[in-house]
A and B are shown apart, each in its own frame.
Chain A
Amino acid sequence: MAGTRQLRARHLGIGLVAVLLFTVAGPLRTWFAQGAYLGSHSLTLGDNTPGATTNYLLSIAGQSGGTVGSIRLQICANDPLVGRPCTPPPGFSFSGATLINQTGITDFSIDTADSTANELVLTHPAAVAPSGTATYELSGVVNPTSIGTFYGRIVTYASTDGTGAIVDRGGLALATNGGVGISTYVPPYLLFCTGTTIQPYDCSTADGDYIDFGNFTSTKTSTGQTKLLASTNADTGYTIRAVGGTLTSGNNVIPALTTPDVSRIGVSQFGINLRSNTTPNTGSDVQGPGSGGVAPGYDTANFYQFNSGDVIAESALPDDYRMYTATYITNVSKDQAPGVYVSTLTYICLANF
């Protein structure tokens, strides 16, 4: 009994398969009956982002050599088989497409009357198809809006309107995806340090914050130096200001140079600049790969000044390392009151993000 059931089931199965095969065979035979299969063919997307409006480059090689008057490019969601029902991919559109380039036979144009949103017919006066590669570039094509595979069907016809006898046919598969999103964060930074010595561009080596001029004399200029190292990725760079007072000893003052002036031995004066000087022979020009510079008033060799709060150096852009050398000069007159003259200068570097 069981054997009989199995036999019946088997026969039923064979019957179903037969029905299925015959059901499928009709459309398949129709498909096989149409035209020759194209040689190498491809459809390249300028952008495979879902919904993107982009260029499509159709490349066809290995045509059978028959007379071709039109090419139909059909885009389907279901399969690439010519002659079978085509489900348009959601969102896809040839409606705004323009034929912008072509090679091979180059007199094709878009047959708008026979084109639809997902079918584009290119037409030209019927001629023998080229044996080599022909390309047709379209702009303004809108991709399907969903990620995944969709299909193209390429058919060439002897007629000029994409109907009638098929000369060649081919299918292809395409894919949309979302691409790769890449991001990174560059944090703001301001590097600034001071010292009597700093090894090139390394704030960890900054050392010393005290300058001893020794004994002032009216016959010689006293000098001292401070190194300033700055760098920032602030959009509008940085400014360095010198804040403090001139040298004083109680009520006795060595006047600061409020306007740029040269060093005058025997005249009480205090000033700074950030250049390499010869009178006296001291200081260094700015160094380093950055582009920051010395501010006006402090940028002329052998001329010095000091106004508290002045910008002494600056950069208007993000700037790589810059090593500035602030040079102090002090002269005293013969009648400069004796005493211990002291000043405290604060350098403030401000980045402008």
Chain B
Amino acid sequence: MNRIRNLLRRPLAVASAVAILLGSAAPALLATSAHAAIEQTPARSISMSDSTPGATNVVYALTLTLPNPAKSFVLDFCGESPIIGGDCQITTPTNTSTTIDASGATYSSTAPANMTPGQLPTSTGTPGSAATGWSLGSASAATIKMTSTTATTANGTYTFYFSGIKNPTTTGSFYARFYAYGDATYGSTFTDADIPVAHAYTPAAVPGSSPSQNPGTYVDYGGFALSTATNVNITAVVMETINFCVSQAAPSPSCAGVTSPTLTLGHGTPLALDAGAVDTATAYTQLSTNALNGAVISLKTTNSTTCAGLQRDGTCTSSSGIPPIGGYGAMTAGTAAFGLSVDDSVAAAGLTASPGSTVHAVSTTNNLFPDVYGTTTANPGSYAMNTTGANTGVLSTYGDPIAYATAACKSMNNLLTYAATASPTTPAGVYSTTEALIATGTF
């Protein structure tokens, strides 16, 4: 994830870095003579909310430190270089579909919603101050003019947010030039000891000429390099998964340590069932799935379509079986019955990853289904083996839901406690059943 974030940040960082680098070199390259008081802004950057070629509604965040108080500035976008006085053909586009278009730019002193903290114009994510009294003077395809009623503070650092800009549609570098003025009218009136004669910023008389404009008598200046870059498209596939196992021993994470879930109910030696006790045996299910909508574990009797209880010698008649207990309730020794209780899940011992959703027993308090197989707290002695309902019950086509998760889960173990007791008239013999435990994920 960090790699991805860094990768996405890189074009912005590069844009900013190049801006600073070129800006530093600019004074040596300037063709025009500068006033003694005129200073290059010592720190400046333009952060783009999106560097995709041709992207629209992009936010350009201009952050700079202004050595001299300023009441207006001009930001020109150029195709050739950031050097003031050099060609700036992009300012007079002949084909706006391939060049920057700032004509729809709007100004805000705070970050718009579509500029995320990671895109804010400093490495720390903290922008400059909001300048007081500033507003958009005008915006054209490649020129943004800002004016203010209040001068900036000398050496103050400010951030100006311009929304609604369309990036150049070609991939590569483009540039910006910045001129700040001591008056609110782009240099037309400002004079001081170093600027005896005022000259206003003037666009080129002939579009496309070189140099394209006269920047006028600015007090601070700077150059920027920006870049558009093709987006890095990252795709990943997370397959739908479900890992479900049934074990007599509690499974370790990822269904490790599973033992055959062959249970024998009874007491004494050898194990035998009689009317004197309720005998129990336990097994576990373990469920892991990334199913978005969770999963359901259902219980279904598979060796008979009519007997939900324990059948003797593989046969099933009304007089030769230990019947299902039915709805959730106490099992009494001596009243022949067979049932199951389910506990809420616990994460497999040793699981280091987050287990995700609990796999709830279908219970009196967590019940999305018609039947009940447990409670959220231990309730030994109560069991269920439901057979009623057209679409539920352990004899129905898809079995009876006994536990469920509402979201993805990891290595969650549910304890199943099977119980049975015989009555005095329960015929002697070997009783058995096979129960399918079916996990269905809803993806």
Binding site for B on A (CB under 8 A): 25, 28-29, 31-32, 40-49, 52, 55, 57, 59, 79-81, 149, 151, 170-175, 177-189, 191, 231, 233-235, 290, 317-321, 353
CB-based nearest B residue for A201: B424
Q: List the A side residues contacting B239 at CB < 8 Å.
A: 79-81, 151, 171, 173
The interface-forming segment of B41-49, B151-159, B368-376, B429-437 is: B429-437
Which stretch (B166-174, B191-199, B415-423) binds chain A?
A: B415-423
A151 proximity list for chain B (CB < 8 A): 239-240
Whether A186 pairs with B319 at a CB distance below 8 angstroms is no
A191 to B275, CA, bound (A): 13
Q: Counting CB contacts under 8 A, is B21 at the interface?
A: no
In the complex, which residues of chain B have a beta carbon less than 8 angstroms from the beta carbon of A177? Answer: 244-246, 437
**How far, in angstroms, from A31 to B418 measured CA to CA in the complex?**
45
CA of A329 to CA of B426, assembled, Å:
37
CB pair A57–B398 under 8 Å, yes or no, is: yes
In the complex, what residue of chain B is closest to A31 when comparing beta carbons? B237
How far, in Å, is B143 (CB) from chain A's closest CB?
41
Tell me how many residue pairs across A and B have CB atoms closer than 8 Å.
199
In the bound complex, do residue A186 and residue B442 qualify as a contact, i.e. CB atoms below 8 Å apart?
Answer: no
Q: How far is the CA of A239 from the CA of B418 in the complex (A)?
A: 36
Minimum distance in angstroms from A58 CB to a CB of chain B: 11
Once bound together, how far apart are the Cα atoms of A319 and B399, in whole Å? 34
In the complex, A59 Cα to B322 Cα: how many Å?
36
Q: Say how far A152's CB is from chain B's closest CB, in angstroms.
A: 8
* Inter-subunit contact A185/B425 (CB<8 Å): no
- CB-defined contacts of A80 to chain B, threshold 8 Å: 239-240
Shortest Cβ gap from B256 to chain A (Å): 14
Q: B438 contacts which of A45, A79, A181 (Cβ < 8 Å)?
A: A45
**Size class of B's contact patch?**
35 or more
Q: State whether A233 and B438 are in contact (beta carbons under 8 Å apart), knowing that A46-B300, A149-B241, A186-B272 are contacts in the complex.
A: no
- Contact (Cβ within 8 A) A25 B261: no
* CB pairs A–B below 8 angstroms (28 shown): A25-B235, A42-B441, A44-B398, A47-B300, A48-B436, A49-B436, A149-B244, A173-B240, A175-B242, A175-B245, A177-B246, A179-B434, A180-B261, A181-B263, A182-B265, A182-B281, A182-B433, A182-B434, A183-B263, A183-B431, A184-B265, A185-B266, A185-B270, A186-B272, A186-B430, A231-B424, A233-B422, A233-B426
Whether A320 pairs with B237 at a CB distance below 8 angstroms is no
In the complex, are the beta carbons of A183 and B245 less than 8 A apart? Answer: no
Chain B: minimal CB distance from A298 (Å): 23
**B residues in contact with A47, CB < 8 Å:** 300, 302, 436, 438
The answer for the CA separation of A191 and B260 in the assembled complex, in Å, is 37
Chain B residues whose CB sits within 8 angstroms of the CB of A31 once the complex forms: 237
Complex CA distance for A139 and B428, rounded to whole angstroms: 37
B397 touches A55 (CB 8 A): yes
Query: Which A residue sits closest to B244, measured CB to CB?
Result: A175
B319 → chain A closest CB, angstroms? 7
Residue contact B263 to A32, C-beta cutoff 8 Å:
no
Q: Per-residue 0/1 for B286-306: is the Cβ within 8 Å of any A Cβ (1 yes, 0 no)?
A: 000101110000001010000
Which residue of chain A has its CB nearest to the CB of B299? A180
Is B110 in the interface zone, CB < 8 Å from A?
A: no
When distances are taken between beta carbons in the complex, the residues of chain B under 8 Å from A184 are 264-266, 271-273, 279, 310, 322, 420, 430-432
- Asked whether, in the complex, the Cβ of A44 is within 8 Å of the Cβ of B262, the reply is no
* A290 to B425 CA separation, bound complex (whole angstroms): 9
- Does B103 sit within 8 A of A, measured CB to CB? no
**In whole angstroms, how far apart are the Cα atoms of A172 and B423 in the complex?**
45
Which B residues lie within 8 Å of A233 (CB)?
422, 424-428
A31 to B245, CA, bound (A): 30
Check A187/B310 contact, CB under 8 A, given A40-B443, A47-B436, A233-B428: no
Report the separation of the CA atoms of residues A170 and B235 in the bound assembly, to the nearest whole angstrom. Answer: 17
- B428: chain A residues within 8 A (beta carbon): 186-189, 233-235, 353
- Given the known inter-chain contacts A80-B239, A149-B243, A318-B425, please indicate yes or no for A55 contacting B398, CB distance below 8 A: yes
Asked whether, in the complex, the Cβ of B442 is within 8 Å of the Cβ of A180, the reply is: no
Query: CA A353 – CA B420 in complex, angstroms?
Result: 22
The verdict on B439 contacting chain A, using a C-beta distance below 8 Å, is yes
Chain B contacts for A235, CB-based, 8 A: 427-428
| B405 contacts partner chain A, Cβ-Cβ < 8 Å | no
For the complex, what is the distance from the CA of A186 to the CA of B430, rounded to whole Å?
6
B-side contacts of A321, CB under 8 Å: 424
Q: Taking the complex as formed, is B50 at the interface, i.e. its CB lies under 8 A from any CB of chain A?
A: no
Q: Is B440 an interface position by the 8 A CB rule?
A: yes
B424 touching A48 by the CB < 8 A rule?
A: no
B contact residues around A187 at 8 Å (CB): 272, 274, 428
Q: A172-B240, A178-B261, A186-B422 are in contact. List 10 more A-B contacts (CB 8 A).
A: A40-B293, A47-B438, A48-B439, A57-B398, A178-B260, A182-B434, A184-B266, A185-B270, A186-B429, A317-B319
Contacts of A28 in B (CB 8 A): 235-237
In the complex, which residues of chain A have a beta carbon less than 8 angstroms from the beta carbon of B300?
46-47
B272's partner among A25, A48, A185 (CB-CB below 8 A) is A185
A157–chain B nearest beta-carbon distance, Å: 20
Task: Give Cα A81 to B281, complex, Å.
Answer: 40
The verdict on B283 contacting chain A, using a C-beta distance below 8 Å, is yes
CA distance A119 to B283 in the complex (A): 35
Given the complex of chains A and B, what is the CA–CA distance between A246 and B399 in angstroms? 64
Contact yes or no, A49 B302, CB < 8 A: yes
Do A183 and B302 contact each other (CB < 8 Å), given the known contacts A81-B239, A151-B240? no
Going nearest first, the 7 A-B pairs with the smallest beta carbon separation are A188-B428, A184-B265, A173-B242, A183-B432, A318-B425, A175-B244, A42-B442
Inter-chain contacts of B271 with A (CB < 8 A): 184-185
Q: Are B235 and A29 in contact (CB under 8 A)?
A: yes
Please give, as numbers and ranges, the residues of chain B lying within 8 Å of A52 by CB-CB distance.
302
Task: Find the residue from B265, B273, B312, B442 having the highest chain A CB count within 10 A.
Answer: B442
Q: How far is the CA of A59 from the CA of B293 in the complex (A)?
A: 13
B443 touches A180 (CB 8 A): no
Residues in chain A near residue B244, CB distance under 8 A: 149, 175, 177
Known: A47-B438, A321-B424. A180 touches B272 (CB 8 A): no
Q: A171-B443, A175-B242, A175-B243 are in contact. Are A183 and B265 (CB under 8 A)?
A: yes
Q: How far is the CA of A234 from the CA of B428 in the complex (A)?
A: 6
Task: State whether B425 touches A180 (Cβ < 8 A).
Answer: no
CB proximity to A under 8 Å, residues B378-411: 397-399
B246 touches A179 (CB 8 A): yes
* Residues A41 and B442 in contact, CB atoms below 8 Å apart: yes
Q: Determine whether the beta carbon of B261 is less than 8 Å from that of A185.
A: no
B278 to chain A, nearest CB (A): 12
Contacts of A188 on B, CB cut-off 8 Å?
428
Across the interface, which residues of A come within 8 angstroms of B319, CB to CB?
317
Q: Is the CB of A318 within 8 A of B426?
A: yes
Q: Which of B52-96 contact A (CB under 8 A)?
A: none
> A41 vs B271: C-alpha distance in the bound complex, in angstroms?
45
Name, among B239, B434, B443, the residue most crowded by chain A CB atoms within 10 Å (CB to CB).
B443
